[in-house]
Amino acid sequence: MKSWPRIVIAGGSIGGLTAAVLLRDLGCEVDVFERSSEALQSRGAGIVVLPMTERYFDNRGRSDERVSLSLTYWSYVDEAGNVLSADADSFRFGSWNTIYRSLLDAFDGDRYHLNEEMLGFDRREGGVTVRLAGGREVDADLLVCADGLASTARRLLLPALEPVYAGYVAWRGTVAERQLTATARADLRDSMLYQILAGGHILTYAIPDESGTIEPGNRLINFVWYRNYPEGSSFDAVMTDVNGERRPATVPPGFVHTAQLDELHSATRDLAPTIREVVAKSVDPFVQAIFDLESPRLVFDRVLIMGDAAFTARPHVAAGTAKAAADAWALHDALRAADGDIDVALATWEPQQLELGRAVVARSRRMGQSSQFEGTMVPGDPAWKFGLFEPGN
């Protein structure tokens, strides 16, 4: 009987869990080590769910496992709320929590290890020894590092590589749909609303609520508002929380300084009425700084980096979780094609995932420059559509 490799995954978010279930299903012995002490929670984030993100659930043939809802229209509106352009794109939208929980439920609970931070690793011929907080060491044939933007693995393997701040942040938040006026609920029932602003843009759309409910009237409404904060005092101010701590990448809900919240709400005067209402009624908005990151390589003997640890794209292509899932699927396919030979599989996997990562980062960077600094974003432009491989796909 064939012996499939023993694999350790560092990082138990959506990318790491997608790799875990796929490699487990292939026959590999898989353990996931997550630094957090409890199951992860999103910070109120809704996400666009591209086909690659849901591929695992679709391949199981279980329609009841769908982790997103569909909205027919992508509607651009002006300051008065007039519709400038409306395309029937039928993109799908979900919540980070719903996707994460569904993947976690599909994995083996006793192999998902919380409060187990990877501190480092020792590469050796034919394998790797992973060092965990608390002094434990684990041997594996392959270490898959899906430990995000602040990746420990990337810092050890590529110490000179740092994320580059893009010059703006995303303000994010949600409100229960039932808290909105009838007019706002009607506007958002089957549409994502998009508004182009001077020096930025904002979008708002429905996502499942905390329990996964997708029925109109009982959903959450999510907003994402991209606003420019030049590096220096302006950026430092928005990233300094209510306790005076300067946060490196995200100021979570409940920690945004009141002065910054006041400034956010004062800026809503330029928003379309429904979008303004969503922002005004959202509970505990939070701040996510936008970065670019491109790794020159992904494979280091029997260690690989994937997802946001390797390439962090601006969110405009809505492909962050999809790209992590694509990395996981490509690894699954390469190992299967190589009949479990790790070195052969990685030689196939790395160049194609490097090409994909570079393309996604480049496209998202162009979109961000257009919308935030050049003022060349045009309502209805098909080049702006979400997509992992190309706009709309």
Percent of the chain scoring above 70 in pLDDT:
96
Residue 312 belongs to domain with CATH number: 3.50.50.60
In a domain, residue 253? The reply is yes
Q: Specify whether 243 is located in the same domain as 303.
A: no
Compute the distance between CA of residue 285 and CA of residue 282 in angstroms, rounded to an integer.
6
Instruction: Decide if pLDDT at 380 tops 80.
Output: yes
What's the average model confidence in pLDDT over 27-37?
A: 94
pLDDT for residue 2 is more than 70: no
Residue 235 sits in a domain whose CATH number is 3.30.9.60
Looking at the fold, whether 264 and 140 belong to one and the same domain comes out as: no
Residue pair 148/248 in contact by the 8 Å Cβ criterion: no
299-316 residue pLDDT tens: 999 999 999 999 999 999
Query: Residues 139, 181: one domain?
Result: no
Is position 216 within any domain?
A: yes
Q: Which residues of the chain form beta strands (DSSP E)?
A: 6-10, 29-33, 46-48, 69-77, 83-95, 112-113, 118-124, 127-132, 137-140, 142-145, 164-176, 191-197, 200-207, 220-228, 250-251, 283-294, 299-300, 303-305, 311-312
Amino acid (one-letter) located at 384: W
For residue 92, which amino acid is it?
R
Count of domains forming the chain: 2
The model's pTM: 0.94
List the domain range (segments joined by +) for residue 267.
65-90+165-291
Q: What do you get for the CA distance between the two ends of the chain, in Å? A: 39
Is residue 322 within 8 A of residue 47, CB to CB? The reply is no
Tell me, yes or no, whether 47 and 183 share the same domain. Answer: no
At 61 the pLDDT is: 63
pLDDT of 1 > 50? The answer is no
